[in-house]
Structure 1
């Protein structure tokens, strides 16, 4: 009974930590639902905050513990120390690995879905290959790329938005310096990004296309630019019969509070008004 009471304490601690993020994070929402399901199974016991020495003693002497129970007791220890899992001073905990560029791509996809939801935009994700566009080469010629895969595409009537997440600090560089002051390497990389954005635009049949390059930036820089209406900038590509715009958008990775996600999405309103 005492062990079940300690587990209940741990679940309630995790629930309190994750609940504020449910409205903006689908993973947090899923974990909270799982936590609530487990708490229902422990409704007959009152929560009991575990003692670290008692946990260590239990781990050292209870030979009947199964591997999942051992992992659970270790997790309770992390919660006591406020680290890992749902701790407020996370320095270690459950091991996981995700390259930063992939993390940023998923963060941008999440923001795009929040942005497109109010106006009913149809969202397709490159992560699940919904945006894949094949490139067909003649059989006799040398071949290079076989497909183009934008990160996220949003469609609404005659308009299409193509989002491509770039884990580079180009937006901050452009804010700090004029284009001609940037290092040649940065200029070359940014030209590549622009050419890729235009290649994505060429695959869209819509009459109005806005392709958006999304770059990370530090929170204070984003807050300063947003206050001046400069965290999103849009340019028109002249030529041809269709309306094609290229946009640069900066987004912070670190937030000071969960509600800041709504502020990021609101800063993207100029993207919807383009071509209206």
Structure 2
């Protein structure tokens, strides 16, 4: 009777292997080779075994894939087994578990499809309006060489500031010298030392005092000092690092009376066990832990890193807001941000309609003199499609989405009273596309709609993620008509 094959007979003995990184862009469907799994298969007919491994791989990694909104399934063309991945607008990096070792052997990295030269520079251009979300997942085996350390510092300092604001206070027994008796006085010390040295108003007092948690404050001071030391070595990155150093100094003022103490893993574990998941204390202690262990954000590189994610729709809105702020600095004007809920246009249903939309929220409203500009960021491929193909050759779904974008921004104009109104849809584009548009003077498209005594200008434009001051001026015709 043939010996029954064990679950590991068809798997080669695992040796310490190279790092396995699965990469794809946001908002795309990608068919990735399954060689990262098949390399461990030891069978004459590999396909059934590889298919089984892929199914196990997808099952155990579903929670990690969900963190980046990735849909995954096995795809078999008859020739090859592929890993069919569909990403959406989230980018970032998460660990993936091997179905063979059940350890974090792999990593998934999603990059922005319009390209940039790293998370750090783009965050600085947005003025840190939107920061990466650090995921509560196991550590990755890689870190992003294009993510400088100061990027994580922005997250850490923000968490530390919130921790300081919410720091619990408790009664502690304190011994200090006071000019008047307080609590329990050490009269023997007073008689033998103070009086003999003519210090008649020095009383060594022990009393219960309501103070901030001294241990956590000591950890915070150690963290801030370490962050400042790191930031001091990164001054060449630009003015934003100097701003972070000033931010760090301002936080240090809140713990000036504490002595810096490096926390032990046991102390951090105890503090984390006392807090609730997701609360300010947990996030603050995590920031202290990352600093103590010198973690970095994960991506593509050689070192260990923290899993993270960012929503490109929110990031593009933040980036556009920073661009409009720079334009406002050149020509004047007042900016209101949808991100800060400053642009809400309420919808009043009569009678109230439960479940329907209650308000309109443009991304940016910019007023200058008597002119009103309603600006909406659209993190979509429409602009690239419109400039590569003509309207007749576009897919119906793209046409419909573009029409919806126009109708949406025109709907915003119904809630305003100004006579001179301009609407602007802004799409992202690649740097090469931007240069081509400038060369052909096609970077701005304009239409005009007249309604009685109200005139509405409609603009379509696109911007890359690395606009410098010279290129920002190319957008001024939208606001200076």
Q: Output the TM-score relative to the length of structure 1.
A: 0.71
Change (3 A) 1:156 1:170: same
Paired residue for 2:405? 193
Q: CA deviation at 1:132?
A: 0.2
Contact map agreement 1:232 1:267 (CA 8 A) in 2: no
Aligned-pair distance for 1:21? 4.3
Whether 1:154 and 2:373 are equivalent positions in the alignment is no
Partner Cα distance (2:302, 2:324) in 1: 28
C-alpha distance in 1 between matches for 2:243 and 2:477:
32
Q: Report what 1:49 is aligned to.
A: none
The aligned residue for residue 315 of structure 2 is 103
2-side partners of 1:227 and 1:177: how far apart?
18
Give the 3 Å change call, closer, same or farther, for CA 193–29 of structure 1 in structure 2: farther
Does residue 270 of structure 1 match 2:441?
no
Q: CA deviation at 1:187?
A: 0.4
Which residue of 2 is the match for residue 169 of structure 1?
A: 381
Q: Which residue of 2 aligns with 1:43?
A: none
**Structure 1: segments with no counterpart, 5+ residues:** 1-6, 41-57
Unaligned runs of 5+ in 2: 1-223, 254-261, 270-284
Per the alignment, residue 22 of structure 1 pairs with 239
Q: Which residue of 2 aligns with 1:261?
A: 468
| Aligned-residue offset at 1:170 | 0.6
Matched residue, 2:290: 71
Supply the distance in 1 between the matched residues of 2:442 and 2:428 (Cα, whole angstroms). 14
Superposition pairs of residues 126-141 of structure 1, within 5 angstroms: 126-139=338-351
Give the one of 178, 181, 184 matched to 2:390.
178
For the residue of structure 1 that corresponds to 2:310, the secondary structure is coil
Offset at residue 98 of structure 1 (A): 2.5
SS for the counterpart of 1:102 is helix
Corresponding residue for residue 204 of structure 1: 416
How far does residue 101 in structure 1 lie from its aligned partner after superposition? 0.8
Secondary structure, in 3 states, of the residue corresponding to 2:339?
A: coil
Q: Scaled by the length of structure 2, what TM-score is found?
A: 0.43
Aligned mate of 1:33, from 246, 259, 266: 246
Query: Helix, strand or coil: the match of 2:468?
Result: helix
Matched, 1:120 2:120: no
Contact 2:346 2:359 in 1 (8 A): yes
User: Distance between the aligned counterparts of 2:418 and 2:401, measured in 1?
Assistant: 28
Structure label with greater radius of gyration: 2
From the two aligned structures, give the one with the greater helix fraction. 1
Query: How much does 1:64 deviate?
Result: 8.4
Report how many aligned residue pairs link the two structures. Answer: 237
Give the direction of change, closer, same or farther, for the CA distance of 1:131–1:63 in structure 2 (3 Å limit): closer
SS in 1 for 2:427: strand
2:438 to 226, 235, 243: 226
Give yes or no for contact 2:430–2:464 (8 Å, CA) kept in 1. Answer: yes
Which string of whole-angstrom CA distances, capped at 9 and with x for unpartnered residues, describes residues 43-87 of structure 1?
A: xxxxxxxxxxxxxxx99xx77886766532432xx6xxxx649x9
SS in 2 for 1:268: helix
SS at match of 1:230: coil
- 2:441 alignment partner, SS class: coil
CA spacing shift, 1:91–1:175, aligned 2, 3 Å: farther
Distance 2:453 2:369 in 1: 18
8 Å contact kept, 1:124–1:153: yes
Contact 1:18 1:32 in 2 (8 A): no
1:194 Cα deviation from its structure 2 partner: 0.3
CA contact 1:158–1:208 (8 Å) conserved in 2: yes
Among 458, 461, 480, the alignment partner of 1:249 is 461
Q: Distance in 1 between matches of 2:232 and 2:443?
A: 34
